[in-house]
Amino acid sequence: MTRDAAIARAESYFASGDFRKDLSRRVAMPTESQNPDRAPVLDQYLDSEMIPAFEALGFQCRKLSQNGWPFLYVERHEDALRPTVLGYGHGDVIRGLDNEWADGLSPWQLIERDGRWYGRGVADNKGQHTVNIGALRAVLETRGKLGFNAKYLIEMGEERISPGLHALVDAHKELFRADVLIASDGPRLSAARPTVFLGSRGAISFDIWIDARKGGHHSGNWGGLLSDPAIQLAHAIASITEPSGKILVPEWRPVSIPDNVRHVLADCEIESDAEGPQIDPNWGEPGLTPAEKLFAWCSFAVLAFEAGNPRTPVGAIPARAWARCQLRFVVDIDVENVLPALRRHLDQHGFSQVQIAQPSGEVFRATRLDPEHPWVNWVVDSIGRTTGKKPAILPNLGASLPNDAFSETLQLPTVWIPHSYPGCSQHAPNEHLPIDIAREGLALMAGLYWDLGERNVPGVSSSDHDRK
């Protein structure tokens, strides 16, 4: 009954093909939360996959519902004197985009090609929580118990910005009470390097548009006399950043990058993958490293722009121009002031005719755990013992997650251990997971769950648990 034996058991689960079988079944379920027709499949994923998997490990399972969305809460309580660890995953996926995958690939079939598994959800997030469930099982089968108290939450609406999640955890704070969140989602810094991240950038999307008049008018008869809303909107958007992408709205810019954040990012080199996009070194905030731009600063993007009829242009000045924009932001930014600040900026630059609105009230809020927190050091040490590698520490993910439900509502330290990589084509056709990452993920999570059963976890004493 040793740590090495638990890791070996996790590796055996992978080598036997059972991990692939489990993941194949889950990928085959089209749990598209953005497709209303798939609503029954969301429940089915919990009923036919998650509940049997957790019940086999001795967890008590309870389905919950909030805002019409299904959730699964599971718990295995062993000892009031041991730490309680909350895990998280989501079983929903982005739309399959069935007709856009490469020849021979399908979003709903796990297919191996060139050392990768392809299929919707293999990286986001079915593959990741399948890794963690398999690692829990390896520890249980080796030790006969976990050695800690485990809780897990599976939601089915993360790809819809987690509707109901925050209300759910707020209404059930005692149910979700724990010492730490240790969960898996998002990408590693690189495929070869284990990574932990401690929160996520926030994200707010908004529409910006100009309604100039009713209907288009002939560009020959009216050109030079009527304002062109597309040109005006392009100039308005251009005022938000410099040509190099440097943000010019003062309230969208962090005051500074904390020293402890700079310190951990100095060890994080972002590499352009041969098959992925190449980094544009002169884009974004000048004077920052690529890692600082991605993980410690804000970024603005125009997601879509439309005027006239793009598919069948005609010789007319359009009546309307519209764009969908997005700001990714870090913890220094007041999300409630993002759109008011933009309104002031546009008015000051002569664009009072531009209108702004959020298409949805849902936002991802920015979160970040102190990189020097004891749980960070503890997790990094555990991963290093298993892999022989120095994990990258990211103060927050560059993308967004509903981490504030755990870090703010539940007041938990949050440490995420991703089992994917930046080039995984997450949310796009041909989503894939390198097989080596899945194998290594099982081993390092088995080692970590084994270590949680030891007595050296940070900040947890017997008296703490006597009050639980």
Cα–Cα distance measured from residue 453 to residue 147, given in angstroms and rounded to the nearest whole number: 4
The SS3 assignment for 21 reads helix
Average pLDDT over residues 211-224: 96
CA 164 to chain centre: 17
**Is the per-residue pLDDT at 34 higher than 70?**
yes
Return the residue matching tokens 């950038």. 201
Average pLDDT over residues 11-35: 98
Cα–Cα distance measured from residue 404 to residue 381, given in angstroms and rounded to the nearest whole number: 25
**Is the per-residue pLDDT at 272 higher than 80?**
no
pLDDT of res. 271: 79
For domain 203-267+282-357, give the CATH number.
3.30.70.360
Hey, how many other C-beta atoms are within 10 angstroms of the C-beta on 66?
A: 19
Residue from 445, 243, 252 nearest 334 by CA: 252
C-alpha R_g of the chain: 24
Cα–Cα distance measured from residue 228 to residue 316, given in angstroms and rounded to the nearest whole number: 10
Domain boundaries along the sequence of the chain? 3-200+365-466, 203-267+282-357
Lowest mean pLDDT among 268-282, 320-334, 345-359, 428-442: 268-282
Reported as a single tens digit per residue, the pLDDT across 130-173 is: 999 999 999 999 999 999 999 999 999 999 999 999 999 999 99
The SS3 assignment for 32 reads strand
Cα–Cα distance measured from residue 324 to residue 55, given in angstroms and rounded to the nearest whole number: 44
Q: Both ends of the chain: CA-CA distance in Å?
A: 29
**Is the per-residue pLDDT at 23 higher than 80?**
yes
pLDDT of res. 461: 56
Amino acid at 261: V
Confidence of residue 462 (pLDDT cuts 50, 70, 90): very low
Residue from 231, 234, 291, 283 nearest 261 by CA: 291
pLDDT of res. 253: 98
For domain 3-200+365-466, give the CATH number.
3.40.630.10
The answer to whether the CB of 220 falls within 8 A of the CB of 418 is no
Average pLDDT over residues 17-42: 98
**Is the per-residue pLDDT at 463 higher than 60?**
no
**Is the per-residue pLDDT at 455 higher than 80?**
no
**Is the per-residue pLDDT at 195 higher than 90?**
yes
- Mean pLDDT for the chain overall: 95
Residues 6+ apart with CB under 8 A from 455: none
Hey, how many other C-beta atoms are within 10 angstroms of the C-beta on 373?
A: 17
List, in sequence order, the alpha helices (H) in 77-175: 126-143, 165-171
